[in-house]
């Protein structure tokens, strides 16, 4: 099988394990659920393979993978382990011990706050941010801001799903965003 066919085969396996739930969490929204990927070892391996291939071909040096609360915690450690890298958490406010830095950001329905421990990223470290979904871009933008405050060099973002109509990619420009699937 050619590399292109293998890539497409893996991508189709990932896509086939994303479920859609209309009108959740409220009417008019279609929720894209990645949980079936986690239940299927082949789909999870394919997703991890696709992210790993992208990182290895697109970035000469990466020091850390940074995962966003909560689904970035599911995919990020697997990718970091494959790449031989460390993994760092960005969590909702009040969930991390020790000294932290936080950022407040706007959501479609209010505000949220995320934080990072102050001693987990060294100045100048090259990092990639990973999450399951890019919608409006608020969470990725907040993570980018936190990492800039840590003096990290954010190389880009990785997401399983990008909701194109919400144009979240515009919020994190000029950071490159690699999305496996688009809706």
Domain range for 49: 3-182
Residue 108 known to be catalytic: yes
Catalytic member of 32, 71, 91, 162: 71
* Percent of the chain's residues with pLDDT above 90: 93
In angstroms, the CA 132 to CA 97 distance is 24
Look at residue 10 and tell me whether its pLDDT is greater than 90. Answer: yes
Q: What is the pLDDT of residue 107?
A: 76
Q: What is the pLDDT of residue 151?
A: 98
Per residue in 73-95, pLDDT (tens digit) is: 999 999 999 999 999 999 999 99
What CATH number is associated with residue 107? Answer: 3.40.50.2020
Look at residue 52 and tell me whether its pLDDT is greater than 90. Answer: yes
In angstroms, the CA 132 to CA 136 distance is 13
| Structure tokens given for 61 | 């040096």
Q: What is the pLDDT of residue 110?
A: 78
Residue 19 known to be catalytic: no
Whether the bond between 174 and the residue before it is cis, its omega within 30 degrees of 0, is: yes
pTM of the full predicted structure?
Answer: 0.96
Domain count along the chain: 1
């Amino acid at each position: 099988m050619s590399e292109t066919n293998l890539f497409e085969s893996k991508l189709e396996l990932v896509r086939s394990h994303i479920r859609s739930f209309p009108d959740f969490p409220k009417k008019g929204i279609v929720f894209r659920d990645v949980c079936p990927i986690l239940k299927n070892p082949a789909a999870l391996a394919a997703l991890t393979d696709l992210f790993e291939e992208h990182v290895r071909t697109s970035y000469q040096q990466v020091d850390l993978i940074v995962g966003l609360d909560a689904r970035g915690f599911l995919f990020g450690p697997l990718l970091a382990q494959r790449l031989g890298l460390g993994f760092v958490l960005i969590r909702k406010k009040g969930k991390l011990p020790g000294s932290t830095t936080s950022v407040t950001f706007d959501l479609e329905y209010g505000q949220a706050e995320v934080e990072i421990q102050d001693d987990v990223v060294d100045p100048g470290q090259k990092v990639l941010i990973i999450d399951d979904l890019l919608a409006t871009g608020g969470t990725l933008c907040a993570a980018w801001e936190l990492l800039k405050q840590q003096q990290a060099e954010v190389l880009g973002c990785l997401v399983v799903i990008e909701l194109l109509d919400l144009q979240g990619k515009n919020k994190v420009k000029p950071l490159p965003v690699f999305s496996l699937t688009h809706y």
